[in-house]
A and B are shown apart, each in its own frame.
Chain A
């Protein structure tokens, strides 16, 4: 913890993320009206009218409200899809690394099957087939992002299972499952946590890209949708694309900073030295 706190970038990231989370949580209190509601004249620039700090979009909707409600979608999609990806990737990688042999072969070929398809293309196809909905988007993102988790966990388990403490556990008569989940996986947690924090960032980007292409959930305001909708008016009202863009940038940056800070804190030997 102290090692994490010593990293200034990571603290900044954490601060930004906390702000985003707070805005998302208190969105209904800040903006009781739906973000889809047309409240003013369209194309109001930021700070032009009281109560519309970020102006209005092409249809006269409040950009600030959209931004805050969009944060909810981004965070939910990011967290849930990462959790699902971990739920698929960790057990698969762990079993492949622990048992080896044909289980490993099978699991890794299956993983490669997903890795050979460009992940964004696969996500588009999945969302298009399943119909754009928050659940299907989250699921699609999870499905394209678990393979690296499986590979990482497999590599960690492969190196850990040769340790003498695993032999000792075996000699104690522990079952394979208890050795794997009680002794090996807890020791593999730190790289998984680091990877998960970066995966949340990637998931947010994926969701925004999908919404930008019009494959977002049509009932939910998201950052990607806002950029996509403002794309046609970028020369007359650039701020409509710029503001949600900055929101995505800051959130993703914050998550990356946190991931790096966690990495330095959890793997002190690999931390950049002497600087």
Chain B
């Protein structure tokens, strides 16, 4: 096996004012022919910068200052722009995280693939079309004749990623760089795309540099692994070595932070329900114009469940399953069409806007995006205490309580006087939790509350939630797409698919003896499922 790409002493300088001087520093590694090399790290580890540097796609003000990347006997960094452009797409292909923004929304899929040939002056237009068709077939897109004429918005997320892969494969590159290609996809789609990348890698004998933050994905496809942190390589080795016997503390911490599949003992639920949802329905209707029919999408289709006092109920589903809409309908950020939402026997859905404003206190929400959920212009103190003050709590008391809560969620009291941009994602999520607690709610809805966080931070926030839940006896509705996370925190799990509740039961039942076909598929699609189970039984 020979080396496809060899990187020596790479250093990438960041502009003044960044959190550190170098995005990566002194990193050296080899990419062997016919292997899948996974580069793993949390956000800010420099893994994507490394890939972008190889492709010559670094942002302005960020430069490679040192090092070499030897590919086919030439150093990529010392090549003139024209030579690098010729290599891009031809010998080195790349696929990105977000296929919707990586594809031109105004070009047909077939034309975008043909454009790759055109850029490198290959073949006649007829041949280009021919090849685009066969590529589309190769990446497993159904009905190539139709797909070639489709626009990106007409495809699903998984299909778009397949189209991106087809573009990257167009000129049969020696190296494929994949930057988090499955992060934006649902688990079942992710499993299919990973399978596709593996098959194609073997068929074309490519070297793949696969960048990810997910050790599950690593377990699924990697031959070799590089673990990065703060711009350094902390560990590298074969997938088996790194996963089974990690050497570095950081790798061990990362692996330990992954929610395991081991199912906790369920607490029997005996108390009266705090929330009862009966036959909730919501349909979005887009009014049609003169020439288009009205379109209706059923987001929630007759969902009923209860949450007991002090219980954590998880709602799991893929994107578009209606799980978030259920959460938002309960707090009436979305107006449901019909159904009852009984909070301690009182129907939230029947309240007038005026009554609702006062009843708001009783159900609070923790949001997904820690960067969007805090007003950038309000200090933390006022963000937390604004709600109670609006509900009539005296200002001094609300402020004192806010400071207390900051301590409860593990932040310093000085945080109160600062603005959101001074905090990291994990810290902001803690502030979001404090804000929800400040209202003394009967029920907290956590909508993908840990999905935007790195694994190690995710573990900390989950730990905090569990701790608070036990200490304060919170009732929690935990909405997530991640089965493993749900298993860690929840007492019962409800699985949603296309607006319907397909299964609900204690965690152990749902995980070990799933009744619905869909639940079985979901469980099977979790990346690194085998490895996770092995790790769990070994420990």
Q: How far is the CB of B430 from chain A (nearest CB, A)?
A: 15
Q: Is B454 an interface residue (CB 8 A)?
A: no
Chain A, 143-184, contact with B by CB distance < 8 Å: what is the 0/1 string?
Answer: 000000000000000000001110111111111001000010
Q: Is B14 an interface residue (CB 8 A)?
A: no
Q: Is B340 an interface residue (CB 8 A)?
A: no
Contacts of B360 in A (CB 8 A): 170-173
Contacts of B369 in A (CB 8 A): 164
- Chain A interface residue count, Cβ-Cβ cutoff 8 angstroms: 18
Contacts of B378 in A (CB 8 A): 183
- Chain B interface residue count, Cβ-Cβ cutoff 8 angstroms: 30
Contacts of B538 in A (CB 8 A): none
Q: Is the CB of B357 within 8 A of A171?
A: no
Q: Is the CB of B373 within 8 A of A187?
A: no
Known contacts A167-B365, A273-B60, A274-B61; is A173 also within 8 Å of B375 by CB? no
The 8 Å CB contact of B364, one of A171, A186, A273, is A171
Q: How far is the CB of B374 from chain A (nearest CB, A)?
A: 6
Q: Is B233 an interface residue (CB 8 A)?
A: no
Task: Give complex CA distance A147, B94 in Å.
Answer: 45
The 8 Å CB contact of B373, one of A168, A174, A186, A274, is A168
Q: How far is the CB of B386 from chain A (nearest CB, A)?
A: 6
Known contacts A167-B333, A168-B365, A168-B367; is A174 also within 8 Å of B372 by CB? no
Q: Is the CB of B367 within 8 A of A173?
A: no
Q: Is B458 an interface residue (CB 8 A)?
A: no
- Describe B's contact surface by its main secondary structure: loop
Chain B, 436-466, contact with A by CB distance < 8 Å: what is the 0/1 string?
Answer: 0001000000000000000000000000000
Contacts of A164 in B (CB 8 A): 367-369, 372-373
Known contacts A164-B368, A273-B61, A274-B61; is A174 also within 8 Å of B386 by CB? yes
- Describe A's contact surface by its main secondary structure: helix
Q: Which of A231-275 contact B (CB under 8 A)?
A: 273-274
Most buried by B among A167, A172, A183, A273: A172
Chain B, 406-440, contact with A by CB distance < 8 Å: what is the 0/1 string?
Answer: 00000000000000000000000000100100010
Contacts of B358 in A (CB 8 A): 173
Q: Is the CB of A172 within 8 A of B333?
A: no
Q: Is the CB of B387 within 8 A of A172?
A: yes
Chain B, 344-375, contact with A by CB distance < 8 Å: what is the 0/1 string?
Answer: 00000000000001101101110111001111
The 8 Å CB contact of A165, one of B61, B374, B391, is B374
Contacts of B375 in A (CB 8 A): 165, 169, 183, 187
Nearest-CB residue, chain B, relative to A178: B390
Task: Give complex CA distance A163, B361 in Å.
Answer: 20
Contacts of A175 in B (CB 8 A): 357
Nearest-CB residue, chain A, relative to B331: A171
Q: How far is the CB of A104 from chain B (nearest CB, A)?
A: 15
Taking A165-B374, A170-B360, A175-B357 as known contacts, 13 extra A-B pairs with beta carbons closer than 8 A to each other, sorted by chain A number, are: A165-B375, A167-B367, A168-B365, A168-B373, A169-B375, A171-B331, A171-B364, A172-B391, A173-B391, A183-B378, A187-B375, A273-B59, A274-B60
- Give 5 CB contacts A-B under 8 Å: A165-B373, A168-B365, A171-B331, A171-B360, A173-B358
A-contacting residues of B (Cβ < 8 Å)?
A: 59-61, 328, 331, 333, 357-358, 360-361, 363-365, 367-369, 372-378, 386-387, 390-391, 432, 435, 439
